[in-house]
Amino acid sequence: MTRLDRRLFLKSATAGVAVAGSGWLAALRHPAHAATRGGTLVIGVPESFSSLDPFRRIGRLDYNAVINLLDTLVTYGPDAIPAPGLAESWERPDELTWRFRLREGVSFSDGTPFDAEAVVFCFGKIREGNFGGQFARITSVVATASHALEVRTSERFPTLLVELAQQYASMVSPAAVAAAGDGFGRMPVGSGPFRIESFDPGRELVMVRNEGWWRRDAEGVAMPYLDRVVWRVLPDAETAALSLSTGEIDFLYALPAPMAPMMAASPDITVSAAPTFGWEYLFFHCGQPPFDNVHARRAVQFAIDRQAIVDAVSFGTGTPASGPITPASWAFNRANPGGGLIAPRANPAAAKAELAAAGLADGFEMTMIHPTFPHLTAMAQAVQAQLAEVGIRVTLDGKEIGGVLDHLFASNFTCLLIDWGGRIDEALVFNSFFRTGGGNNFGKFNDAEIDALIDAAAAAATVEERARIYQEAELKLVAASPLAWISIPSELRALRKGISGFVNHGDYRLRAWQISRG
């Protein structure tokens, strides 16, 4: 029997490391946990909800709702190591077989039982969904007993556990799916810590405790602790900050960096920061001019002064990006990040040389779509000014986040600035963003050599071999520049005193079941 190599899921290299930047960051602290049952938590969020169907492309805020409504077979904590969820154990009798023992006595919040047949149904939904390609190596999923499952693969699939910990692998009630049809995205039913009481996507989502949730804390106390969680849409950052200061809300989901020092100075508010696995970046459409030419993409890459953006726009709370692999990853090459092609400072001479190689010595014009969040608007304006220095003339097209996502998901853009929360394993990043046809490959990038490296890394047996292959793929990706990586942001949250138990994982997922009042 093959033993699982836990080294495939090493702890984040930066866990516990302070975020670099201004002096006020030293005061950031995480509240101690003192669980008290009952009460309501009101969370201010900066954007509207769209769909809560986990199998479709949905936004970051939607994923935050989903993680509190739907369980997955596998989960993970701050150490980013896969841990039992609805699957209480697993084994690999050979390299192509996984056997899962499912948690017994669990029901979906509509009262229907969770069992192996429900999991088989959910695997069908997962593979039909937008991220079904992540599970292409699975050849069969069979219920071998009421709470036992066997998964067979066509080749070694060592990263299956981290795939199963993602929200697109959620477990849902088959009965609820059948009853709701296309409306399931407005009222998903799972076995998670909360269930939906009411949902007005542009205004408010209200969740109430799922009294039958299976999880207990270390003291044996039933979770979640809260009676209700209210997600209130407050798109104006200043209004949201005022609402936190006055106590109208308890938790600010996204704290703009310019407001963080002021919030940290308040005796009534705690500010929390954590380095993330993700990026702030530009998406290029690699199938449209001018970015069907690699030299045009590289010209933008060289023209960006990442350090200036981190200092002026992020107030020192982020880190200049050197490529797709972040310092939080076990695959990060500390000796030569990103192969050394992308520097923190701009290289105007190199940018102009790339423009000449593209046949665009006089520069070019383009439109950049971006969300109208203050932070990303300021970043778009900074990039616009920096590109103008080398003759690239940018027209900014700011849109509400839902409109930005509509353009992104439809690949209807030439250049689009956005941020992304990252994932705990490089297989989830490379396969999705950079493999031909990947779920997040909205820029239509394709490279057969990179595809082959991504496949090889995902199947490699040891973390050392996987890291080496991903670093090789990163070198080719930075040279091909399907994206322009700008910075690695910090996850900034703010909460009122008296709110306990929040853990900032740095993955843009708010786990409300851990939180209590008092």
Q: Which secondary structure element, helix H or strand E, spans residue 140, and what is its range?
A: strand 138-145
pLDDT greater than 60 at residue 16: no
What pLDDT, on the 0 to 100 scale, is given for residue 9?
Answer: 30
Dump pLDDT digits (tens) for 271-319: 998 888 899 999 999 999 999 999 999 999 999 999 999 999 988 888 9
> What letter would DSSP give residue 123?
H
Per-residue pLDDT band for 17 (boundaries 50, 70, 90) equals very low
Dump pLDDT digits (tens) for 424-436: 889 889 988 999 9
- Count of residues making up the chain: 518
Measured CA distances, 263 to 270, 417, 493 (Å): 8, 27, 10
SS3 for 300?
helix
Per-residue pLDDT band for 3 (boundaries 50, 70, 90) equals very low
Give the residue extent of every domain in the chain. Answer: 279-488
* Residue type at position 490: S
pLDDT over 70 percentage in the chain: 93
Q: What residues does 496 pair with on adjacent strands?
A: 269
pLDDT greater than 60 at residue 10: no
Per-residue pLDDT band for 33 (boundaries 50, 70, 90) equals low
pTM of the predicted protein model:
0.79
Q: Identify the sign of the CA torsion 26, 28, 30, 36.
A: positive
Per-residue pLDDT band for 373 (boundaries 50, 70, 90) equals confident
What pLDDT, on the 0 to 100 scale, is given for residue 460?
Answer: 84
- The closest of 342, 390, 397 to 364, measured between CA atoms, is 390
Check: CB of residue 513 under 8 Å from CB of residue 215.
yes
SS3 for 503?
coil
pLDDT over 90 percentage in the chain: 70
Check: CB of residue 501 under 8 Å from CB of residue 252.
no
Between residues 21 and 484, which one has the greater pLDDT? 484
Dump pLDDT digits (tens) for 106-138: 999 999 999 999 999 999 999 999 889 889 999
SS3 for 79?
coil
Q: Please state at what angle helix 448-459 crosses helix 463-480, rounded to 10 degrees.
A: 160
What pLDDT, on the 0 to 100 scale, is given for residue 77?
Answer: 78
CB atoms within 10 A of CB 453: 23
Between residues 489 and 508, which one has the greater pLDDT? 489
- The closest of 171, 176, 211, 170 to 194, measured between CA atoms, is 211
What pLDDT, on the 0 to 100 scale, is given for residue 167?
Answer: 92
What pLDDT, on the 0 to 100 scale, is given for residue 402?
Answer: 87
**Distance in angstroms (rounded) separating the CA atoms of residues 320 and 346:** 11
Residue 327, classified by CB atoms within 10 Å of its CB into exposed (0-12), middle (13-18) or buried (19+), is middle
Residue 173, classified by CB atoms within 10 Å of its CB into exposed (0-12), middle (13-18) or buried (19+), is buried
Task: At 188, give phi and psi (nearest 5°).
Answer: -65, 145
**Distance in angstroms (rounded) separating the CA atoms of residues 42 and 247:** 9
**Distance in angstroms (rounded) separating the CA atoms of residues 224 and 199:** 20
Per-residue pLDDT band for 328 (boundaries 50, 70, 90) equals confident
**Distance in angstroms (rounded) separating the CA atoms of residues 204 and 412:** 29
Q: Please state at what angle helix 463-480 crosses helix 294-303, rounded to 10 degrees.
A: 100
Dump pLDDT digits (tens) for 36-75: 889 999 999 998 998 999 998 788 899 999 999 999 999 9
pLDDT greater than 80 at residue 76: yes
- Within 13 Å and on the Cβ side, how many CA atoms surround 497? 7
* Residue type at position 287: G
Structure tokens at 381: 């304006």
- The closest of 271, 246, 245 to 258, measured between CA atoms, is 271
Kindly report the average pLDDT of the chain as a whole number.
90
Sheet with 97-102, strands from edge to edge, namely 87-94, 97-102, 148-153, 138-145
Structure tokens at 412: 């209807």
Per-residue pLDDT band for 463 (boundaries 50, 70, 90) equals confident
Dmax over CA atoms of the chain, in Å, equals: 68
Fold for the domain defined by 279-488: Dipeptide-binding Protein; domain 3 (3.10.105)
Task: At 449, give phi and psi (nearest 5°).
Answer: -65, -40
Per-residue pLDDT band for 27 (boundaries 50, 70, 90) equals very low
